[in-house]
Structure 1
Amino acid sequence: MSQENSILLSDSGTRSYETLFEYQPLAAFLVEADGTISLVNHRFELLSGKTKQDIQNRMKWTQFAHPDDIESLMDAFLNNFQKQHKPHLFTARTRLFNGSAYRKVFIRANRIPTANETILVQLQELDEEGLLKDYSLEDSDYRWRSFLMEGLDIVVILDLSGNILFVNKTLTGASAEEVQGRNLFQILKKTDALKLQSFISKVLVTGNAESVEEWSSFTGKKSHYFIRISPVTKQGEISAILLTVSDTTKQKESDSDRLRRMESQRHRQKLEALGTLAAGVAHEINNPLTGILNYAELVKEQVEENETLLRNVEVIIRESERISGIVRSLLGFAHKEEGIKAHVSTGEIMHSSIQLLLPFLSKDAIIMEGVDTLIDSEKNMDIPLVIGEPQKLKQVFLNLITNARDSLNDKFPFPSEKKRIIVGQRQLFRNGERYVEVTVKDFGIGIREENINRIFDPFFTTKPTTVGTGLGLSVSYDIVREMSGDMDVESVEDEYAVFHVILPAAEKIS
């Protein structure tokens, strides 16, 4: 055992209690095994009408008890403190002799686990009706007691062996009465006890206060605490240890949220820079692409009689037009139109979003179903328009398609006929109101049941930190809610996931 721990666990005797007793808000005394009172505080002097010199090591507690109560009190002491597996605390109402009369008092007795089994007794006077008397507001002890008992912090006073002499609030989930008198290191979890013991040892050696921040279960629940450990001295010697424990969980969580917001802001700035770069690249691509299309049209006119060359030129024109469509979608998405709301077609926006992602989907051998029906005027005659910001709605659809693509790639890292995404839309009625429902279904890894209710939470993600920030679905959900809509999800793990975007129909009907 180290020297510090030897100091911490040594028996300090009654010397370690003296400082505590000077500040006790209640009358208190210590009783040795033979019943002799070895130490009293000033409050007990006032209550009993005798001085410390008259009492300490001269009188027994039975000299202050009413003759009719001695037998019952003796039985209580024997039952609670001299038998194994009995509680360390008992309370009773009795009468105390003050030299001229008997006063009604309420007592609390705790066994202090020292070598000679000292008993700590605290007393509080009762009124004529048997109720605890309130301390006078002018009494400095009352103000001190209020500060300790009603303050937000947990205050613990330990002797040099780690025994709890005083605690104002619940500790480790047990009441103050249950833990008072017990050894702190025996009631804490081993890891917490060892860590706290090392800091207390340092305080005993240096005489200086220490502080530590910990995620721990000091109050019976996992929280973040700031703990300050201070020496209590008398005439230059340390006689006790004072712990103040502050619950700083909310502050710690606020700090974490702030860091996440800062990281999110940096990520957003990167995306904005990337969007600007993509828009510039798209402009540069668009100019030569226009030239390719024009020259291809000229070549087509010149080779009309050569069927083989004509087919090749038509492929060049078709693929160039597809690239042109992707560039237009990219430019449209990069163009800022925040705040501009319009009557929009969900089908057209979804179709445009898919065209933007089509090269990546094709590279991953993902089959898209239902794309052409999104812009089929005959099949969508009953689908109403919605009111919203086109670019924000496109952001929602891009996120859903991207998530579906990631899920399919996780499940099928190779080409498979099961790598499918199905999109569609329909008219929907709820409570007599008309809505448009857009669905995106994939047959990827799905969503675990325990995560279903969390997927729209900010920063929640099951992807690696290098892949996702956990903001996509949260931002999409906020956009849909801004449009007075809603998002639903249904999923079976390792089978499928379906996202439903439900938006209120506009008055103007397509």
Structure 2
Amino acid sequence: VQSLLVSVSPCGEILSMNREAEKITGYSQQEVVGKYWVDVLLSPEERQDNQRRVSVALKNKSHDVNFQASLLTRAGERRIIDWHGSFRTNIEKGQVGWVLFGIDKTEQINTDRTLNQAVAKWEQIFIAIQDPALIVSADSKILDANSATLTAARKTREEVVGRQLCRILHGGRKAQKRCPLEEFVRSGKARIIETELPGLHGQYMLTISPFLPEQGDIRLLVARDLSDEELSRAEQMRAAQLASIGELAAGIAHEINNPINGIINFAQLLLDDLGDDDSTTSAEILRRIISEGVRIGSIAHKLLDFARGQEVEFEAVELNQIVDNCLALIGHQLKKDGIVVEIDISRQLPEVFCSKQQMEQVLLNIFSNARYALNKKYKKADPKKKITVSATRILHNGNPYLALTVIDYGTGIEHDLMERLFDPFFSTKPKGEGTGLGLSISHGLVQDNNGFLRVRSEFGEYTTLTVGLPTQHIAGGANEGYMES
């Protein structure tokens, strides 16, 4: 028998004990026979209470009694024993009063205690983590979140725990589309990604750590807010990548330019040969060839603009002047679409030091994208069909800047597309409606002007683009900016 087995007489004296009882207590059977059971099997401080418990059971004519008690071994070690006492009358002519069966629970209790202490310590660490931290299941349900998460999300615990990860960190996703973050969580692999988390209102370095299999199919997510310095470093890496793409683009553009000019010229010659008979199907096809050739040539020209840096002439200029010039060009289209433009730029702000022409090009591209997003969301007039433009003073890398912010309340941008916004030829518009070069070129132009370009968006709600420009000349080139994307 792997449990302690002790027989006790009606007067409470030990009659016998098995080998397991000898092993646990450290006493031999000969040493304890005739001794009162509480003196051997119970620690001094627990004897009175447990003896009373047994007496009550006998008085109530119970057949058994169960209790847990400490036992002091011969060596002074404390063991925790679960006892089951079974009363036996008229056994061996009344010689045996009852039998005690005991199971040593010491190791299990110590293990449970250690585990509880570890869990309590983990909970304290989890709560004390200064960065947002979440525990999520394999299907991306949030099981727990620390206070830093609640602060960053600006939500209560009840609004976070039990919700889907994408809903809290990204604000949701389009129907039938998968969230890449939830796919990472589902894979069960450790991963570190740099990403914007609109639900936490910032750019983060997100670490996904799966727990050990025996700990359950859960993951720990810790989001570290990226500082300006880290964002600048990431921007420099992206600038290097774009420079490599630019060299490739320049080569492709040169290769395209010569044959496309030949195609356009030959098509024009054939069209001229038709003379007055230019209403035929052949003439229409030739005109389409010329039109598409011109479009290809325009793309090639944009590629060259993207690839090679242009000479930039900086001047002091008011932001209001740049905005007004852009609205003079695009204002009629905005008004026709029912889009209201609200401008809040103080005339007391200092001038920015930049290329006025390039910044007008950047702002025109931003207005054009905002117009497209608003028209896609609102087919008719709506109070929310508007663009707000504002400016404020900031310090960037220790230098005085003005941040020009343009917000549209259109379709927003899906979170899984944010990191590709500045990639050449990447467009969120349907095929044929955009070249995918607008933001890439704008990003390069802003950098050439010692500025930075940030994009923030919540899908279905808004998109914010911020252009930061210095208010004084900055020596050392253009690679001082950073973006959030």
Q: Report TM bin, short chain.
A: 0.3 to 0.5
TM-score by structure 2 length?
0.35
